Structure formats: structure tokens, C-alpha cells
């Protein structure tokens, strides 16, 4: 069955094939740089993205909180100001979203580290960032930035897996921090 037949008869498999194909093209060194950026458990992290990329950033921030990291989502009422020694993770497909670029500039002006996931590694956001993970979206049958957003979530879950690799009882530790007000 070719990819068009799969897309017609079992579209969920077509989506999975696109994601698997993209993840196979991820640069392992760029991924390792993102993992290294998150190594310091005392560092405060700010997560940001606009639209669906922002939803992915929120999901990733939650998982890093489960890991025990100090995390904030930019724009939330409890988010403090970013300062020297902090870090900002920005998810932006275009790498040119004005709000995201503005946040990165503010972070850099405060001497904070900037990490970005983008499918435009030559865009303005990538030029500002200290660490760039290119997410190589090519052709997709999905609407809008779906392939980019799906892949970013899986990549950030991969960062979590990398960071918890040596943690005894990582699941138990993270479950303990999972909300119980639901």
C-alpha cells in the first residue's frame, strides 16, 4: 500500500508515517544540545509559543514541572520576570513570529539563555537563540503546522526521557508532582 492509499484508508497511519519520517531526520547533535541546556535542575525555565505551538510549549512545561524543574509559561499571571541565569524555550515554526522574536530579544537583553525549536533554522529567532533544534518539516498532507507541532511535543518528551534515564523511580517521582486537584 503506498502512502496515498494509507492516507485514504487509515489516515492515522499516514500521520504517524510523517512524524516518523521527520524524527528520523533530526540532527542528534542538535538534540543533545537541547538536552544539555536542560541539565541544570536549579535553572528556571520559561516556555513560550504562539497558537498551537504555545499549546505544545504548555504541555512540555507541565512535564518539566513533573520532573521537578522550576518552570513558567510566559503570559501566565504567576510568571515572574526573566533574569540572568534563567532560560527561555520558544517553539516557533516560522521562527519569525513577532511576539516570539520579541520575547527572545528580551531574554537575551536580560542575559538569559534562549533555546528554540523551529523549522526555519535561518530565521530571526534562530539567529537570537543560543541553542537551535531544527525540526525539518518538508512536505505534509496535514493542515497548517500540525506536523511541526506534533514533532516538537515528541522531541521535548524525548528530552525528558534523556534527563530521567539515570533517575531511580523517575515515574514515581514525576507522578508525585502530578496534580491531585482534578
Is residue 110 annotated as a catalytic residue, yes or no? no
Q: Which residues are CB-neighbours of 52 under 8 A, at least 6 positions away?
A: 144, 145, 146, 149
Closest CA to 155 of 13, 17, 19, 36: 19
Write down the catalytic residue from 5, 76, 96, 149.
149
d(CA 32, CA 38): 10
Query: Rounded to whole angstroms, how far apart are CA atoms 168 and 93?
Result: 35
Q: Which helix (H) or strand (E) holds 91?
A: strand 87-91
Q: Give the separation between CA 176 and CA 57, rounded to whole angstroms.
A: 22
Spatial contact of 60 and 67, defined as CB atoms under 8 Å apart: no
Please name every residue paired with 131 in a beta bridge, in sequence order, or none if there are none: 115
Active site residues: 149
Amino acid at each position: 500500500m503506498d502512502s496515498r492509499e494509507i492516507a485514504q484508508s487509515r489516515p492515522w497511519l499516514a500521520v504517524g508515517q510523517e512524524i516518523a519520517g521527520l524524527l528520523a531526520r533530526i540532527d542528534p547533535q542538535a538534540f543533545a544540545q537541547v538536552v544539555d541546556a536542560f541539565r541544570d535542575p536549579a535553572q528556571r525555565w520559561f516556555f513560550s509559543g504562539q497558537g498551537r505551538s504555545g499549546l505544545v510549549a504548555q504541555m512540555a512545561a507541565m512535564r518539566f514541572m513533573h520532573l521537578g524543574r522550576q518552570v513558567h509559561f510566559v503570559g501566565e499571571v504567576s510568571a515572574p520576570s526573566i533574569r540572568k541565569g534563567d532560560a527561555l524555550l520558544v517553539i516557533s515554526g516560522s521562527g519569525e513570529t513577532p511576539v516570539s522574536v520579541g520575547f527572545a530579544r528580551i531574554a537575551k537583553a536580560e542575559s538569559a539563555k534562549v533555546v528554540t525549536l523551529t523549522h526555519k533554522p535561518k530565521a530571526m529567532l534562530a539567529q537570537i537563540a543560543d541553542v537551535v533544534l531544527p525540526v525539518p518539516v518538508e512536505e505534509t498532507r496535514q493542515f497548517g503546522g500540525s506536523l511541526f507541532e506534533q514533532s516538537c511535543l515528541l522531541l521535548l518528551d524525548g528530552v525528558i526521557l534523556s534527563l530521567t534515564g539515570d533517575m531511580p523511580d523517575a515515574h514515581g517521582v514525576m507522578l508525585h508532582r502530578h496534580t491531585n486537584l482534578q
